[in-house]
Amino acid sequence: MALGRNYRGKSNLRQAQRRNKAVGANISRRRPGRAGRSQVGHFTAREPFAPPEDWHEPTGRAGYEIVVQAPGEGYRHVLTPDDIRARLAMLPEPFIMPLEVVQLSRITRKKLTFPCYGMQWGNALYLYPVEESLVEQFSVPPRPAVVNEALMYGGKWDHPEADLWTLTWTEEAIRDFYLNNILIHEVGHLLDERNSSYVARERYAEWFAIEYGYRTTGGGQTRRPNRPVSRRHDR
């Protein structure tokens, strides 16, 4: 949302089942002139019908690889492989032992319907691209949890029309958001072998992201004033 345990002896199926916890946040995204998105979220998969498009079979090998896909027209990846390796290297070594793949994924039709920033599935983490403009558009009010989380990392919310909300990122803010929130949250899910319920898993990953992401990189001292922490897989 039990650290440093050896997952190699667990069955691949059990790992996938226990870590497959996907949910979409209940906010809609409006994208004028382009294919509409019905929901948006930054979550790990909670339902069996929402796996990533590419399944990486666990191999038990040491170390991890980074797979880079073309993000898709109008989208861009936020992080580079070097960014990811440098950030993961800041974590205690046992934390990344179970990790085998980090994939910078493409936008697909499914992800336009159930878009997300990040996902954990088995021994792999998936990071999804954002709009090239760094401006996200929503057609219903974002939940307070979503608003607060973006503000924590420097996102700027506006409400220019009756049925339009926008979230604008700077280059620095979106990198901070992905490096110290999205990526670290998914590592938390990767390590959580203890919890099986959605609420418990989210609580753990939320704590992990704050403890090893937000606070260890400055927290409220270097970002916007500290706000109540309510994480991204909310409903």
| Residue-wise pLDDT tens digits, 174-220 | 999 999 999 999 999 999 999 989 889 889 998 999 999 999 888 75
Tokens describing residue 196: 């099986």
E strands, the chain, in order: 65-68, 75-76, 101-104, 118-121, 124-127, 130-131, 135-138, 156-161, 164-168
The whole-number pLDDT of residue 113 equals 67
State how far Cα 112 lies from the chain centre: 15
Condensed to tens digits (0 to 9), the pLDDT of residues 6-44 reads: 222 223 323 333 333 333 333 344 343 333 333 344 444
Tokens describing residue 216: 């260890």
The whole-number pLDDT of residue 222 equals 55
User: pLDDT band at residue 224, thresholds of 50, 70 and 90?
Assistant: low
Condensed to tens digits (0 to 9), the pLDDT of residues 48-106 reads: 345 677 888 888 888 999 999 999 999 999 999 999 999 999 999 999 999 999 999 99
Residue extents of the structural domains in the chain: 12-132+171-219
Condensed to tens digits (0 to 9), the pLDDT of residues 112-161 reads: 766 689 999 999 999 999 999 999 988 889 889 889 989 999 999 999 99
